[in-house]
Amino acid sequence: MTQSSIKDLLPTSKHTIIAIVGASASGKSLFAQTIYNELLPELGEQSISIVKEDAYYHDQSHLPMEQRLLTNYDHPNAFEHELLSEHLTQLSQGNAIQTPIYCYKTHTRTADTTTLLATKIILVEGIMLLADAELRNKFSIKVYMDTPLDICLIRRIKRDILERGRSLESVTNQYVNTVRPMYYEHIKPLKRFADIVVTRGGKNRMAIELIKAKIRQLSNNYNE
């Protein structure tokens, strides 16, 4: 599961930023959210938070809906990584940020933002976090979710139909035209940058417990 020993992954400041990456529907969100939910009562709100790369899809409010539907959302250029990188810098310096809010039904950001305070541990989950060298250097620990594509597709169909109001036809067309080819072109190659490779998806308890143990260690170091 690991490409380097987890005990060797050391923080460089009083804030540790952990990237959780992988294919769409590979279990990234579940993995990150499980770690967050299980550690929050123990560590407190000042110690751990989650940032989602999806919030940093480019604002497309200036485009008609027909054009928004043509956007390749599985390409690195779909994200405003410069803003995400700046926000992570601000958080690492102890400053609060205003994270965008993205709407999957309108394919653009809303007019609102969410205030996120700086925490000791910052989990960042998304598909393209390691594609940009500047952004990649922000992460002290990089986790890659290595889930078979057929499993990802099944999960994506269920999620997009139930949660995002998509039709089966639109989900499968997007998968064939952009999701699958972009995975092989842009996401799978990012595995080489990972410190830890997680198999069996977001419910892999051994991987969850290992990351939780590392976070506890980091949190204790910060408190000394």
- Rounded mean pLDDT, 155-174: 90
Question: What is the signed CA dihedral for 181, 141, 203, 190, rounded to 10 degrees?
Answer: 10
Q: Is 83 helix (H, G, I), strand (E, B) or coil?
A: helix
Tell me the per-residue pLDDT of 33-59, one tens digit each, with 9 for 90 and over. Answer: 999 999 999 999 999 999 999 999 999
| Distance separating alpha carbons of residues 214 and 155, to the nearest angstrom | 29
- Rounded mean pLDDT, 67-90: 96
How many of the other CB atoms lie within 10 Å of CB of 30? 19
DSSP string, 89-127: HHHHTT--EEEEEEETTTTEEEEEEEEE---SEEEEEES
Contacts within 8 Å (CB) and 24+ apart, 164-169: 164/104, 164/105, 165/104, 165/105
Give all domains of the chain, ordered by start, each with its CATH number. Answer: 6-223 (3.40.50.300)
Q: What pTM did the predictor assign?
A: 0.89
Residue bearing the bigger pLDDT, 204 or 14: 204
140-165 in b/e form (b: 16+ CB < 10 A) is bbbbbbbbebeebbebbbebbeeeee
pLDDT > 70 fraction of the chain, expressed in percent and rounded: 93
C-alpha pair distances (Å), 146 with each of 76, 95, 173, 211: 19, 33, 23, 16
| 11 confidence band (pLDDT: 50, 70, 90) | very low
The predicted structure's pLDDT at residue 13? 57
Residue 99 confidence (pLDDT) above 50: yes
Q: Which two tokens stand for residue 188?
A: 């799978």
Tokens 């699958």 -> residue: 180
Residue bearing the bigger pLDDT, 160 or 82: 82
Largest Cα separation within the chain, whole Å, is: 55
Residue 157 confidence (pLDDT) above 80: yes
Half-sphere exposure for 211 (CA within 13 Å, toward CB): 34
Instruction: Give me the amino acid identity at 107.
Output: H
| 165 confidence band (pLDDT: 50, 70, 90) | confident
C-alpha pair distances (Å), 40 with each of 43, 50, 54, 65, 83: 5, 11, 22, 39, 26
First to last CA, the chain: 30
The predicted structure's pLDDT at residue 224? 61
pLDDT > 90 fraction of the chain, expressed in percent and rounded: 86
Residue 189 confidence (pLDDT) above 50: yes
Tell me the per-residue pLDDT of 111-153, one tens digit each, with 9 for 90 and over. Answer: 999 999 999 999 999 999 999 999 999 999 999 999 999 999 9
